[in-house]
Amino acid sequence: MPWVSLLLAIGSLVVSADEYRERRARLRAAIPDAAIVLEGAPDTSGDPRSPMLQEPNFYYLTGWKEPGAVLVILPASVEPNEILFLPPRSERKERYEGHRVAAGDADATSRTGFAKVMSTDVWEAEVSRLMQDGNVPRRMKLAEAAPVIAKLRMVKSRREVDMIQHSIDVSIEAHLAAWRRAKAGLFEYQLAATMTQVMMEQGCERHAYRPVVGSGPNSVILHYGFNHRRMDSGELVLMDVGAECNAYAADITRTIPVSGRFTPRQRELYELVLGAQKAAIAAVKPGASMGSRGEVVEAAKKYLDTHGKPIHGKPLSTYLTHGIGHHVGLEVHDASADVPLAAGMVVTIEPGLYIAEENTGIRIEDMVLVTETGAKVLSSALPRSASDVERRMQH
Ligand SMILES: [Mn+2]
């Protein structure tokens, strides 16, 4: 019954209303006896250049995309203890933007996953009334909820890992399409266009970040984003490109030879970066630190310095000029707190070497799920070794 499996496939890429409710319950438990107020992204639909992105913490707790909403989470003893406030209906706005859910709609509960939906016009009055009625003590203490939400967001649910995996799978397809197309004489933006086409074709919303396609001298510019240079044979092209699908980001980098073959020097440096990446991934496990002096980056640096020759008298690790990685989720640089790695976290491991005088920047970036015992590379389907890259570029 093919339609059943199709339905399951689509179903698995949606976070359920129950999971959102569970997240709010965990936040309530982490900040008890408080009114937690989150404002969603403001309505910027009047600006046609606005991408209209929901505020990520708000999205994490509600799954709600429409602008101008307010989320209030109250202590468990108060009834109701969570309310979604939506902007009042505006005929004019709906003429431009289409139907929007508003308090009072018969289907407001099923559309939002909230038992209580009210108008933003009354949110402040309603919260004071509920706190008073619920005899919640008024301690005039204000605190940021964001650091607490960040800790929740760092550990992904099984469903979130599935959704991240989908964004990774699409991004891998995009990289492979660019590999097949790469050749001297092409412009960087043409490779970017090929990758964009794959993402959009798969129904993804957008690039998870400005795509970096940097050839030759541009490969050493970490966040190069102009993508306007014509590529030449004998050069490397660094592609740091990832899709955002169903709100979840992927972040993958590969560095390939424009004309399909690494020079001996490029291959030497490439294999050193790959060795450093493998050493760093081997250091990923619960309890390890991703920090600037943590064991993950130190493993990469140690590999570079014990396997590679110094350049201009400087140890090779000097040319790894950025951090070893970051958390990924709803945002490509996802919310995080300075805590050790734990099972369920998803991070990038992305060592690189940037040698300007050789016009050579090499970065290899993969996404890794922290498991109970170590790490699982989620982007392992995209070839990594120099020989495998060359082989795949021929097809
Ligand atoms: Mn990254």
Q: What is the mean pLDDT of the chain?
A: 94
Binning pLDDT at 50, 70 and 90, where does residue 11 land? Answer: low
> Using the 8-state DSSP alphabet, how is residue 205 labeled?
-
Binning pLDDT at 50, 70 and 90, where does residue 202 land? Answer: very high
- Residue 85 C-alpha to ligand 1 middle, in angstroms? 35
- Residue 44 C-alpha to ligand 1 middle, in angstroms? 28
Token couple for 376 = 């699982």
Q: Measure the CA–CA gap between 356 and 301, rounded to whole angstroms.
A: 19
What mean pLDDT comes out for the span 194-200?
A: 98
- Residue 101 C-alpha to ligand 1 middle, in angstroms? 36
- Residue 64 C-alpha to ligand 1 middle, in angstroms? 26
pLDDT value, residue 132? 86
- Residue 220 C-alpha to ligand 1 middle, in angstroms? 15
- Residue 1 C-alpha to ligand 1 middle, in angstroms? 40
- Residue 337 C-alpha to ligand 1 middle, in angstroms? 17
- Residue 365 C-alpha to ligand 1 middle, in angstroms? 7
- Residue 394 C-alpha to ligand 1 middle, in angstroms? 27
What mean pLDDT comes out for the span 318-342?
A: 97
Binning pLDDT at 50, 70 and 90, where does residue 2 land? Answer: very low
- Residue 177 C-alpha to ligand 1 middle, in angstroms? 20
Residue 98 vs residues 66, 91, 93, 101, 247: alpha-carbon distances, Å: 11, 9, 8, 10, 21
Give CA angle at 366 (215, 229), nearest 5°: 10
- Residue 23 C-alpha to ligand 1 middle, in angstroms? 26
Binning pLDDT at 50, 70 and 90, where does residue 136 land? Answer: confident
What's the chain's Rg over C-alpha atoms?
24
- Residue 328 C-alpha to ligand 1 middle, in angstroms? 8
E strand spans, 135-189 = none
Q: Which CATH architecture has domain 2-152?
A: 3-Layer(aba) Sandwich (3.40)
- Residue 324 C-alpha to ligand 1 middle, in angstroms? 9
What mean pLDDT comes out for the span 78-90?
A: 96
| Percent of the residues in the chain that have a pLDDT greater than 90, as a whole number | 91
pLDDT value, residue 137? 72
Residue 371 vs residues 143, 162, 290, 326, 391: alpha-carbon distances, Å: 33, 14, 15, 16, 31
Q: How far is CA 333 from the centre of its chain?
A: 6
- Residue 289 C-alpha to ligand 1 middle, in angstroms? 17
What mean pLDDT comes out for the span 272-282?
A: 98
pLDDT value, residue 3? 47
Q: Residue 213's closest CA among 249, 237, 195?
A: 237
* Parts of the chain belonging to CATH 3.90.230.10: 155-393
Q: What is the pTM of this model?
A: 0.95
- Residue 391 C-alpha to ligand 1 middle, in angstroms? 25
What mean pLDDT comes out for the span 87-99?
A: 94
pLDDT value, residue 5? 47
| Percent of the residues in the chain that have a pLDDT greater than 70, as a whole number | 96
Superfamily of domain 155-393: Creatinase/methionine aminopeptidase superfamily (3.90.230.10)
- Residue 327 C-alpha to ligand 1 middle, in angstroms? 9
- Residue 367 C-alpha to ligand 1 middle, in angstroms? 9
- Residue 325 C-alpha to ligand 1 middle, in angstroms? 6
What mean pLDDT comes out for the span 44-73?
A: 96
* Parts of the chain belonging to CATH 3.40.350.10: 2-152
Q: Omega before 56 cis (within 30°)?
A: no
- Residue 97 C-alpha to ligand 1 middle, in angstroms? 34
Q: Is the pLDDT of residue 276 over 80?
A: yes
> Using the 8-state DSSP alphabet, how is residue 285 labeled?
S
Question: Which of these ranges, 46-55, 239-248, 266-275, has the smallest mean pLDDT?
Answer: 46-55
